[in-house]
Amino acid sequence: MQRAIFLDRDGTINHDPGYIKDPSEIIILAGVAEGIKKLKKDFGFKMIVISNQAGVAKGLMTREDVEAVNLRINELLMIEGASIDAFYYCPHHPDIDPPEKSICRKPSPFMIVQAAEDFKIDLSQSYMFGDKSSDIECGINAGLKTVLLISESIEKEISTLHNLGKKPNFTAADFNEACDFVIKDLSGGN
């Protein structure tokens, strides 16, 4: 069985100015390419993006825009010797779409379960990195260890999780610290 790092996209891999539809706006965050490269090469993790892209349902972008942005993210990562193995995204929003369509939206584990089936992933040996409470909830709902990346809204995200009676396995200052947590955890260091 394969293990994986499931990654939120905007705010985790790349700068998040809100509803990105132009690939030229993509800025990969510091440490992301190096961290992905190390976890893939040295530890054999698949890298899989799990992303809510409600801008599609809201008419702010198209699926083609989302896919073009995903392609650009991978192009930029490949320049640094890193890459994402697969991108899964939910283009739906419960305020716009019926519940049966919105089932893929985080915090539902739907996309993680689909990826696990597609790649034969052992979820008990896998992790979720994200900057929002919905990322952590999604990971917990799928049985993953979770890492919350500190963002501008960290207090709100922690408060939301606290109110739900949930917490991440680790809170990281940045992507490098998230990767260090995984490496220590693999060696039984936590």
Active site residues: 8, 10
Closest to 151 measured CA to CA, from 15, 34, 25: 15
Residue 52, beta-bridge partner list: 90
Q: Which amino acid is at 164?
A: L
Q: Is the peptide bond before 107 cis (omega within 30 degrees of 0)?
A: yes
Q: How far is CA 50 from CA 70, 119, 190, in A?
A: 11, 14, 26
